[in-house]
Amino acid sequence: MIQMTSSTTGSDGQGGVAGPDDFDVSGLRRGKVLLVGESMGLFAAGKEGPCSQVGAFSASVAGAELNVAIGLKRLGHTPMYVTRVGDDPLGERVRLFMEENHLETRLVSVDPSRHTGFMLKSKVTTGDPQTYYFRKGSAASAINAQNIFDIDLAEVSVLHLTGILPPLSSATMEATDSLVARAEFNKIFISFDPNLRPALWPSERRMHAVLKKLSGQADLVMPGIAEGEALFGYTNPEDIGKAFIGNGARYVVVKDGPRGAWATNGSRGLYVPGFVVNSIVDTVGAGDGFAAGLLSALLDGQHMSAALTQACAVGAMQTQSPSDNQGLPTPEELTDFENTHARARRREPAFA
C-alpha cells in the first residue's frame, strides 16, 4: 500500500468544477497494469432453459482479470496479463483471443500436464444467469510464487487483484501473497475487487479472513453491496465504504448495481448515479467492466467523480452483450454512450 495524501482539484465527471465532496486518488501514476488470474473457455447457452437441456452453446473466453485487461486495452492502456493454460484447444483459444484483442501473450504459460478451465452460462431475460465452473486442477490453479518472482515490474504502476485467484489452490494463495509483497516493496498501487466466489473456498470463515486481509492491504477496494454485507454486515454504500476504510483501505468504491456507485477516502464521500439502459442482456462481466472503466479514468488523471461516471458507463455497456467482455468499449463508443443515455435515479443521502 502506498502512503500518500489526496487533493481536491479536477472535474466533476460532468465537465465542470469538482464539488466539495470530490477527491483525487494519490499514488497512482500512468503505467502498465499487472493482472494475474485464470482464463477459461466460456460456453454460453443459445436459448433459455437449464444448461442440461440446451442443445447449442456459443464458445468464447472469460475470466475476471482477463475481462479487466481487455477493457483497459480498449480504453488505451497497457495491461500485462499473467495466466496459465493447458496444452489443449481451450488454451489455444485463450491465446488466440488475447491476440485478437491486442493483448501480449508472452506471460501466458502452457502447462502440458493440466487442462484449461471452462464454464457454462445459462441464458436469461431477467436477473443473473446461472454459471457452472469446471476449474478444479486447472492449469491456472498451478500459478505459483516463482511465476510471480519472474515478472518484470519495472514499468508496472498498478496491480489489480480479485478474490478469485487466491482460493484456486495453495499455490495461488502463495502467489497472491507474493504479488502483494512485491507490489508493496516496489510502491505499486494495489487495486482489489473482492469478487466473492464462495464455492471456491474451503469455508466461509477462511474466505472472510483472506478477503478482509487483502482489502486491508489494498490502496483501492471495489466491493459490491453483496460483498459489503458478507464481509461486514452492512447493506448501504456509505456504511460499507466506512467499514472497508476502517479495515485499512485508502479508497473505497462501492458498486451499487444499475443505480450508481459511492466512493470515499475516509474524509470525503460522493455518490454518482449510473446510466439507464432499455434492457439487460447479461449481467456477468459488468463488474469487470466497471473496474476497467474506473482504473482507466484514474490512470488518465481524472477526479473520482469523473472516474465513477466512466466506470458506471462501461459497466452498463457490458450488460448489453451476451459475452463477458464483448461489450467493453473503445473511447469513442464510451463517449457516444455517455452522451446518449440518461442517468439513473440518484440515491437519497441516507441511502434508505
Among 194, 192, 265, CA closest to 229: 194
For 212, the grid coordinates are 478482509
Question: How large is the greatest C-alpha to C-alpha distance in the chain, in angstroms?
Answer: 56
Cα distance between residue 244 and residue 351, in whole Å:
17
Q: Contact, 43 vs 323, CB < 8 A?
A: no
Residue type, 32: K
**Active-site entry in 22, 193, 219, 288:** 288
All three cell numbers of 285: 462481466
288 is catalytic: yes
Amino acid at 36: V
The CA distance from 246 to 238, in Å, is 12
- For residues 223 and 253, give the distance between their C-alpha atoms in angstroms, rounded to a whole number: 7
* φ, ψ of residue 235 in degrees (nearest 5): -125, 0
246, 250, 270, 245: which is closest to 260 by C-alpha? 270
Cα distances (angstroms) measured from residue 304 to each of 66, 203, 317: 24, 35, 20
Phi/psi at 347 (5° precision): -65, 155
Residue with cell 488518465: 300
Contacting residues for 330 by C-beta, under 8 A, at least 6 apart: 74, 75
**Distance (Å, whole) CA 81 – CA 233:** 33
Closest CA to 260 of 194, 323, 322, 305: 305
Helix boundaries (H) for the chain: 64-74, 89-100, 145-149, 170-185, 204-217, 225-232, 237-246, 286-299, 304-318, 331-340
- Active-site positions read 288
